Structure 1
Amino acid sequence: MTARRTVVRRAPGKLFLVGEYAVVEPGTPSILMAVDRDVVVTVSHSETADTVIASDLGPRRRSPHVAAAIEIVGRLLAEHGLRIPALRVAVSSRLHEDGRKFGLGSSGAVTVATVAAVAEFCGLLLSHDHLFRLSLLATAQIDARGSGGDVAASTWGGWIAYRAPDRARVLELARRQGVRAALLAPWTGLEVRRLPPPRGLTLEVGWTGRPASTASLASTPHHRTWRHSASHGRFVETSTDVVHAAIDALTTGDGPGLLRQVRRARRALAQLDQEAGLGIFTTELTALCEVAESVGGAAKPSGAGGGDCGLALLDARAHPDIAHLRERWTAAGVRPLPIRPATERNEERPV
C-alpha cells in the first residue's frame, strides 16, 4: 500500500425526481439526478498523532458522516492487516449556505467524497459499486432508515434509477462476515441503472429556506402507524407505477409524458401528506408547484418536503415562462437556485 501526500475527491449532491418516501422500502424504485453542486474532501497527513477533521461549515456543523466514512475504510483495511494513518480531512461544501443546507443530499455527498478520498490516500481505488457499498454502510450505521438514494446519486452522477437494499440486513452482514465480504455479497433489492436526461425540458430548482429530514419526517408516530395500513400499500404501488412510467418517458424522450408522471408523483405525495400527517407541503412548496403548473410545467417537492427544495420541469424553449416562474417564486418566498443536473461520473478501477 502506497500512501499519497494529498488526495482531493468531490461528490455531487442530488435531487429526487420521483419515488421519495416509497424508496425507503427495500426494492422499491425511484429516480434521482446528481446536481452540479458538490462537496470537496481533501485528505493529507496529519501533523499530530490523531486524525483532524476541519470543515468550512464550522464546529457545530461537523458531520458524523465524515467520521463514519473514515471508520468504514479503516475496518476494510484492518481486515487486510493494515491501518489508516493519522489524517487531516478538510471538508468544503457547496450544498450549504451560511451553515444552512439546501436539501441536496449533503450527508450522502460528504460520505462518498470522504470514503473515496481516504481509500485513495491509503492506496485503494474503488469501483463505483464498492464506493457505494462502503458509503452506504457508513451512512446506515448512523441511521438505517435512509434509502441511500443520495449516496447512489453522489457515486454515479447523472440520472439514475435506484432501488435500495435492506440496510439493516447489509449492516448485519458486515458485522458478521466483515466489510470485504459485504462488498462482494449480493445485496437483495439493490439496483442502480443509468438513465438519459429529459429531452426538451429544463430543470428549475427552488429553495424554501427551511431545512427538512426524510428520516425524521418518516419516523413520526402517525407515519409509523400508517406504514402498516392499506393506504401505505396503495402509495407504494402508485409510486412504483409512476417511477416505471417516468423511466419509460426518459428512455423514449417523451417530455410531455415525463411531465404527466411528475404531476402524478405530486398528487401521490399530497395524498400521503393528508393521510400520514407529515407536513410535506409547506406554504412555499405549495406555491412552488402551483406557479410551475400555471406556466405549463410540472413541479413537486424533492426529497423529504417540509422545507428544503422543490423542482420544476418546463419546456426548454419557453424562455418567458421560465423567467416568469422565477419572478413569481421569489415573490412567494421561494429562492430560485442556479442548479443544473450533473454529468455521469467516470468509473474508478476496482481494488
Structure 2
Amino acid sequence: MTARPAVVRRAPGKLFVAGEYAVVDPGNPAVLVAVDRYVTVTVSHLPGTAVEITSDLGPHARLHWQNARLTPYDDPGPHDDTSRPGKPGTSGVPARPGRQGVPAGLAHVVSATETVARLLAERGLPVPGFGLRVESGLHDNGTKYGLGSSGAVTVAAVAAVAAFCGLDLPPEDRFRLAVLATAEIDPRASCGDLAASTWGGWIAYQAPDRSAVRDLAARHGVIEALRAPWPRFAVRRLPPPTGLRLEVGWSGTPASTAALVSDLDRRAWRGSDSHRAFTAATTDCVRACVTALEDKDPHGLLQQIRRARRELARLDDEVGLGIFTPRLTALCDAAEAAGGAAKPSGAGGGDCGIALLDAEAPRDIEHVRERWAAAGVLPLPVRPTAEGNKK
C-alpha cells in the first residue's frame, strides 16, 4: 500500500475581548480575536496501526487502539490492536476517552484523535497508523502565555488527522469535532478558543450546551452530532476595530481557566443574584461591543472595554477569585492613563491582558509599553490575524 502523504495544519491562538465567565453558560455572547501565534500539527505515515505523538513541549507517547481508545503499549490491560474502533453510541464504546498512561500534556491531542476516529468508524473507514508532531508558538520555554494553546492544538489536531485520513471537512464540522473532544476533558470549557482558532479574525461567539451535544454524540453517534442543530450556538465574523491598535501584555504568570471556573462553581455563585446581575451586565456589554465594531465606533468600543473591566473587578471583589493581579491592574491603569482601555483577557489570575489604544498615537503606545515593562508586564509582539485553521 502506498504511504499517505504527510498533512500539516495550523491553528492560531486567541484572546478574549469581552464576555469572560458569562460565556461559560450556553447562549451567552463573547467577543474574541485570533492572534498570529500558532500551533502546528503534522501527521505523517507510520506502518501498522501505532500512533506516535511528539511535542516540542516535551510530552511524547506511543499508543495503539484498544477498545476504541488510544492506549500506551505498556498498559497492563489486554491488547486489542484494531484499526477500526466500534461505533459510538453502542455499549462497547465509552463516552470518555481513557487518559491512563498518557502524558497530561497530550490529553487534548489524544481526545481530538479519538473523536476523529469515532467519525471514521461510523463511516466504515479504518484508522491508519500515523505519527503526530505538535509545534507550539504559544509558549515561552514551556510556560504558556494564555493564548489558548489547548484550543489551538485541539483544532489543529482535528483538522490534520481528519485530512490525513481522507476526510474533507468544512470549518463548522471541524469546530464541532473539537468541541466534542474538549468536552471529554473539560465539560465546562466555553470552547470560544476553538471558534477563534477555527474561523480566525474578530468573532462574536455563543457557546452551545456542551453536555447536551456530548450526550447527543454518545447516544446517536458523531455523524448525527455534526448534522443536528446545536441550540444556542452561534458564531460570526466581526470587522476589526477602526482607529485602534490592540496591544497585549503578558503578566509572566500562567493561570488555569478551568481551575478558576471550577473555583467559582464551588462558591455556589451560579444561580445567585450576583450571578444574574453579572451575566446581564456582561451580556449587554458584549452586545454593545459588537455594535461598536460593526458601526466602526472606536469611542464606543473603548467605553465598553472599560465597562467590561469594571464588571470583572466587581465580580472579583464579590467572590475573591483573584482575577486581578497587581501586574494586570498595572497593565490596565497604564492603558487608561494614555486614553485607551484595557482588561484581563480570559479568566485572569495571570496570563495576558489586552489594551486598545489610539493607532495614530505611537508615542502613547510606546509609553504604555514602557510602563508595562516597569511593572513586570512583558509586551507581546502579537497581532490580530484573519487566518483561521488552515494548511
Query: What is the CA RMSD across the aligned residues, in angstroms?
Result: 1.6
Q: Which 10-residue stretch deviates more, 79-88 or 167-176?
A: 79-88
Residue segments in structure 2 that go unaligned for 5+ positions in a row: 60-102
CA contact (8 A) 1:32 1:159 kept: yes
Does residue 209 (structure 1) correspond to residue 256 (structure 2)? The answer is no
Does residue 115 (structure 1) correspond to residue 147 (structure 2)? The answer is no
Amino acid at match of 2:12: P
2:20 match: secondary structure: coil
For residues 330 and 128 of structure 1, do their structure 2 counterparts lie closer, same or farther at Cα, with a shift above 3 Å needed?
Answer: same
Does residue 262 (structure 1) correspond to residue 305 (structure 2)? The answer is yes
Distance 2:125 2:361 in 1: 57
Shift of 1:81: 1.4
Kindly provide the CA deviation profile for residues 233-267 of structure 1, in whole angstroms up to 9, marking residues without a partner as x.
00000000001100000001000100000000000
Amino acid at match of 1:99: G
Match of 2:183 among 130, 140, 146: 140
Does residue 319 (structure 1) correspond to residue 362 (structure 2)? The answer is yes
Which of 1 and 2 has greater Rg?
Answer: 2
Percentage of matched positions with identical amino acids: 63
Amino acid at match of 1:326: R
CA contact (8 A) 2:257 2:347 kept: yes
Amino acid at match of 2:181: A
Q: Greater helix share, 1 or 2?
A: 1
Amino acid at match of 1:41: V
Question: What does residue 92 of structure 1 align with?
Answer: 135
Question: What does residue 83 of structure 1 align with?
Answer: 126
Amino acid at match of 1:46: L
Distance 2:25 2:248 in 1: 26
1:5 match: secondary structure: coil
Kindly provide the CA deviation profile for residues 17-72 of structure 1, in whole angstroms up to 9, marking residues without a partner as x.
00011000000000000000010000001256410001000126732100001000
Question: What does residue 298 of structure 1 align with?
Answer: 341
CA contact (8 A) 1:205 1:311 kept: yes
For residues 241 and 42 of structure 1, do their structure 2 counterparts lie closer, same or farther at Cα, with a shift above 3 Å needed?
Answer: same
If the length of structure 2 is used for normalisation, what is the TM-score? 0.86
Q: Which 10-residue stretch deviates more, 55-64 or 174-183?
A: 55-64
Question: What does residue 195 of structure 1 align with?
Answer: 238
1:220 match: secondary structure: helix
Question: What does residue 46 of structure 1 align with?
Answer: 46
Kindly provide the CA deviation profile for residues 176-232 of structure 1, in whole angstroms up to 9, marking residues without a partner as x.
000000000111110001100000000100001111122210111675411121010
Question: What does residue 230 of structure 1 align with?
Answer: 273
Residue segments in structure 1 that go unaligned for 5+ positions in a row: none
2:156 match: secondary structure: helix
Question: What does residue 199 of structure 2 align with?
Answer: 156
Match of 1:130 among 164, 168, 173: 173
Question: What does residue 36 of structure 2 align with?
Answer: 36
CA contact (8 A) 1:223 1:276 kept: no
Distance 1:150 1:347 in 2: 16
Kindly provide the CA deviation profile for residues 125-183 of structure 1, in whole angstroms up to 9, marking residues without a partner as x.
11111010000100111011110000000000001000000101100000000000000
The correspondence of residues 282-297 of structure 1 with structure 2, limited to 5 A, is 282-297=325-340
Shift of 1:275: 1.1
1:239 match: secondary structure: helix
CA contact (8 A) 2:34 2:388 kept: no
Distance 2:146 2:387 in 1: 21
